Amino acid sequence: MNQELLLGLYVLILTIFLGFEVISRVPSLLHTPLMSGTNAIHGIVLLGGILVAGTADRPILYLLGFLGCALGAGNLFGGLVVTDRMLEMFKPRAEERPAAARPEPAGAGVQAVREKEPVRKP
């Protein structure tokens, strides 16, 4: 069997295992950004479009190269931008609401600390 093909298959299969390990740790909270982010990752086929367009020498290859570049760039850059837009919105409680806007939790926190102090003293 062709060595390059064989090595490629090793890379493919081992990466699929790695992918399962990494992806299974992503909480369902983030599944939409995950899907849109991995969607952007396969936009890397843009580099195939670049190679076709860059080496084209016949009209049909120019056309296919153009399609590859346009669709690939659309997938890659659109996917990255939309994923970033989504992830920017995910905020924890503390960051999202500054103390000024929501005095109660901050106050409660201080109170809790004060209540603990007498315990520590003796």
Site for other proteins in 10-49 (CB under 8 A): 11-13, 15-20, 22-49
Q: Is 109 in the site for other proteins (CB under 8 A)?
A: no
The Cα–Cα gap between 79 and 70 comes to 14
Q: Which among 85, 94, 79, 5 has a CA at the least distance from the CA of 40?
A: 79
Tell me which amino acid residue 63 is: L
Please say which residue, 58 or 121, places its beta carbon nearer to other proteins: 58
Q: In angstroms, give the least distance from the CB of 60 to other proteins.
A: 7
Q: In angstroms, give the least distance from the CB of 41 to other proteins.
A: 5
Residue with tokens 């109660």: 104
49 burial via Cβ count (<10 Å: 0-12, 13-18, 19+)? buried
Residues 51-80 that bind other proteins (CB under 8 A): 51-58, 60-62, 64-80
Q: Is 110 in the site for other proteins (CB under 8 A)?
A: no
